[in-house]
Homo-oligomer: A and B are copies of this chain.
Amino acid sequence: MHSEFELITRFFTPDPPGSEAGVALGVGDDCTLLAPTPGQRLAVSVDTSVAGSHFPEDAPAMAIGHRALAVSLSDLAAMGARARWCLMSLTLPAADDDAWLADFARGFHALCAATGTALVGGDVTRGELAIGVTVMGEVPPEQPLTRGGARPGDLLAVTGALGGGAGGLALWRRGERALEHPLLRRYLHPLPRLEAGLALRGLASAAIDISDGLLADLGHLLEASGVGAELTPAALPLAEGLVAALGKEPAREAGLHGGDDYELLLGFPPDHLDEARARLAALDLPLTVIGRFSAEPGIRGVAMTGARGWQHFTGDAAP
């Protein structure tokens, strides 16, 4: 069995820290010392992914590493924050598997590199497989995207496509293992919308990431903003291949209730929409208007009977 120290040095030693990364003292002391950018707010969030609860235990190790970081980075995206640093708490079963660990680390590090996020600390303990990731990002004080800024008359819009997380999980449960399948890719390899969050600073009136399902997360946003919304369910941009894989009605349910999509749900003053669309088009990311905010509380335009949030891997809300 590896000691914690061996594990960290073998698989998780970050690149040599440089001042450009804002790391004044890297891994190997009691704490890491960071140099935050003066005048910026520090955006922090933590998410823990537990095997069997948030992902199937037999998911590919690279995907587990990728997803564990992606779900935390998605929270930074929803604030319009620039990703800077992360710490990882890895709880591993007693039996080591070097190949598994190497793949896990590869998935984690690849997303670090792709998003400019420096892994600056962590710990390894023994127990049921779980990964806790704390992320830290930066955002100008006047520009954070919050859940609380939507106003009646604002447009309700969503990036990318919906239902792919639920669809991919459904396929995985059926035994589909072709990792290049677009739906499996959506579920196992979600891309946090960090660049979109940055691009929409100053344009969006409100934002939240869709981790628990469109309706559940819309509910959070409405509550924080003190408004309601009129949805246009026919406008929902469903993930590629979703209807073919699940059938029409389950696909619609996945778009409304399925979680693990990690798209951004946004509010916009109507006259900001064209600029927002243009900025996201530059990122090759669609932006679809799916409704409008209103003063009247609640969600209209969709039957809410039986509606409930996504329970991730274990939930029976999955199609």
Contact = CB atoms under 8 A, between A and B. Distances in A.
Contacts of A132: 46, 48, 89, 132
A261 interface: no
Given A48-B123, A148-B29, A87 B134 contact: yes
Given A28-B224, A31-B75, 17 more contacts: A24-B141, A29-B146, A30-B207, A30-B208, A30-B209, A31-B45, A31-B81, A33-B144, A35-B141, A44-B136, A46-B123, A47-B89, A48-B125, A50-B91, A54-B125, A127-B127, A128-B128
A30 B43 CA distance: 9
A247 to B, nearest CB: 30
Contacts of A127: 50, 53, 127-128, 130
A36 B132 CA distance: 23
A141 B25 CA distance: 10
Contacts of A148: 29
A18 interface: no
Interface string A154-196: 0000000000000000000000000000000000000000000
A41 B30 contact: no
Give the number of times this chain occurs in the complex, counting copies.
2
Interface string A119-139: 011110111101010101101
Listed residue (A38, A53, A127) with the most chain B CB atoms within 10 angstroms of its CB: A127
Contact of A53 (B41, B125, B147): B125
A231 interface: no
Interface of A: 24-25, 28-36, 38-39, 41-48, 50, 53-54, 74-76, 78-79, 81, 85, 87-89, 91, 120-123, 125-128, 130, 132, 134, 136-137, 139, 141, 144, 146-148, 207-209, 224
What secondary structure prevails in chain A residues at the interface with B?
A: strand
A74 B146 CA distance: 33
Contacts of A53: 125-127
Nearest to A135: B31
Listed residue (A31, A34, A125, A128) with the most chain B CB atoms within 10 angstroms of its CB: A31
